[in-house]
């Protein structure tokens, strides 16, 4: 298995109390990086640090809401004070309440858009300013979703936010390219992140697996592996792209009968 070396690198991973964010933080730590984990939920962050075991000695934590500019600035000041600089930003934080458009409240819409899109904007702005000032380049990876290009009922706000995140990635890559800051996005398929199991979720999972050529649900580690690749020196010429990590789910209409 490929082993990346991030010795001396400093990373910030938002929404890293569990799932993709935690898996990414763990793999960065295993590869020698110093990592700041960010969450809005103190108990989740405490549990995440406990799960890292000995790796936690190279990890810092910051409780903060990425949708609030003052809290984002405070987080980056804290990161600089503790770790000195930033080389890698992974925008993973997301809140995704579901509702059909005719029933949706403004609060539900805002929670999706703000946590996913506004949060990535605020954190990317703060990180890129520091990367530019340091003059040594950097890496930004935005965690989007296959939902950026595949609509589904009840997820209009989430799909819109993730689609916006992909376009934000492309625009930012153009702006930061001259500064040798790579900006990319990963688009996970169905990933098991420990959500509560319900009959509706089980039905959804089964249907999605049937449409996935690889025949399984993805793991947070599957996405973390892709993120590390995009943050590595080997990805130096990759920027402005979106990488689907979904077992072939987005490749086409798999699982339907062969056409006559």
Name the percent of the chain in helix, strand, coil, to the closest 5: 50, 15, 35
**What are the E-state strand segments in the chain?**
10-13, 34-39, 59-63, 88-91, 138-143, 181-188, 242-245
Closest CA to 88 of 129, 133, 125, 35: 35
Are the CB atoms for 68 and 121 separated by under 8 Å?
A: no
Closest CA to 225 of 188, 180, 182, 173: 188
Q: How many CA atoms lie within 13 A of 255 on its CB side?
A: 15
Are the CB atoms for 157 and 165 separated by under 8 Å?
A: no
Q: Rounded to the nearest 5 degrees, what angle is found at the Cα of 217, between the Cα atoms of 211 and 221?
A: 140
Q: Is 148 a catalytic residue?
A: no
Residues whose CB falls within 8 Å of the CB of residue 38, separated by 6 or more in sequence, listed in order = 12, 13, 14, 15, 16, 61, 62, 63, 64, 66, 75, 93
Catalytic residue (one of 148, 158, 204, 254) = 158
CA separation, residue 22 to residues 37, 48, 143, 220, 238 (Å): 8, 7, 13, 8, 24
Q: How many residues does the chain have?
A: 260
Residues acting as catalytic residues = 158
């Amino acid at each position: 298995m490929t082993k990346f070396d991030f010795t001396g690198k400093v990373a910030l991973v938002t929404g890293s109390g569990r799932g993709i964010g935690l898996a990414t933080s763990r793999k960065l730590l295993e590869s020698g990086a110093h990592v700041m984990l960010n969450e809005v939920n103190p108990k989740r962050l405490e549990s995440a640090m406990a799960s890292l075991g000995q790796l936690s000695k190279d990890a810092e934590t910051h409780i903060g809401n990425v949708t609030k500019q003052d809290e984002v600035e405070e987080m980056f000041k804290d990161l600089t004070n503790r770790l000195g600089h930033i080389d890698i930003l992974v925008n993973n934080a997301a809140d995704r309440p579901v509702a059909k458009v005719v029933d949706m409240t403004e609060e539900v819409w805002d929670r999706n858009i703000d946590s996913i899109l506004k949060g990535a904007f605020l954190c990317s702005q703060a990180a890129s300013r520091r990367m530019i000032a340091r003059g040594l380049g950097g890496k930004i990876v935005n965690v989007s979703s296959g939902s950026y290009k595949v609509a589904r009922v009840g997820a209009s706000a989430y799909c819109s936010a993730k689609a916006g995140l992909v376009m934000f990635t492309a625009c930012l890559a153009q702006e930061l390219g001259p500064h040798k800051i790579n900006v990319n996005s990963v688009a996970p398929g169905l990933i098991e992140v420990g959500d509560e199991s319900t009959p509706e979720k089980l039905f959804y999972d089964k249907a999605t697996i049937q449409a996935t050529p690889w025949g399984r649900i993805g793991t947070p580690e599957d996405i973390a592996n892709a993120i590390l690749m995009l943050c590595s020196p080997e990805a130096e010429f990759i920027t402005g792209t979106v990488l689907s990590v979904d077992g072939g789910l987005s490749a086409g209409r798999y699982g339907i009968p062969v056409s006559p």
